[in-house]
Amino acid sequence: MDLSKDVPRSVKDKSLEGIVMLARTTDKARAHAAGTVGEYHFNCGMDQRVLEFVGIDHEVFEKLAAANDDKKLGELLQAKYLNKKTANEIAAFNADYLKISPEPNSDSQKYFVDLRNQIAPDRTDVTTWPDLLDLDEHRDVPRKVAA
- Considering the domain architecture, whether residues 78 and 31 belong to the same structural domain is answered as yes
Q: Is the domain of 114 the same as that of 84?
A: no
Pair 82, 138 in one domain? no
Residue 10 placed within a domain? no
Q: Is residue 119 part of a domain?
A: yes
Q: Do 146 and 119 lie in a common domain?
A: yes
**What tens digit of pLDDT does each residue of 1-11 get?**
899 999 999 99
Do 28 and 86 belong to one domain? yes
Q: CA of 127: how far to CAs of 49, 64, 116, 130, 134, in Å?
A: 19, 33, 9, 9, 12
Domain membership flag for residue 69 = yes
Q: For the segment 29-72, what is each residue's pLDDT rounded down to a tens digit?
A: 999 999 999 999 999 999 999 999 999 999 999 999 999 999 99
Does some domain include residue 79? Answer: yes
Per-residue pLDDT tens digits for 93-108: 999 999 999 999 999 9
Question: For residues 11 and 15, what is the distance between their CA atoms, to the nearest angstrom?
Answer: 11
* Residue 37 and residue 31 in contact, taking contact as beta carbons nearer than 8 Å: yes
Is residue 26 domain-shared with residue 92, that is, in the same domain? yes
Count of domains forming the chain: 2
- Owning domain of residue 71: 22-97
Phi/psi at 73 (5° precision): -60, -45
The torsion defined by the Cα of 112, 115, 117 and 121, in degrees rounded to 10, comes to: -90
Please choose, from the candidates 144, 100, 79, the residue with its C-alpha nearest in 3D space to the C-alpha of residue 12.
100
- 118 and 92 co-located in one domain: no
How many helices (H) and strands (E) in the chain?
Answer: 7, 0
Same domain, 121 and 90: no
Residues 84 and 111 reside in one and the same domain: no
In this structure, the answer to whether residues 48 and 110 fall within a common structural domain is no
On whether both 125 and 105 belong to a single domain, the answer is yes
Those residues with Cβ within 8 angstroms of residue 112's Cβ, 6 or more apart along the chain or in another chain: 101, 102, 129, 132
Task: Report whether 2 contacts 30 (CB < 8 A).
Answer: no
pTM of structure: 0.93
Are residues 124 and 95 in contact, defined by beta-carbon separation less than 8 angstroms? no
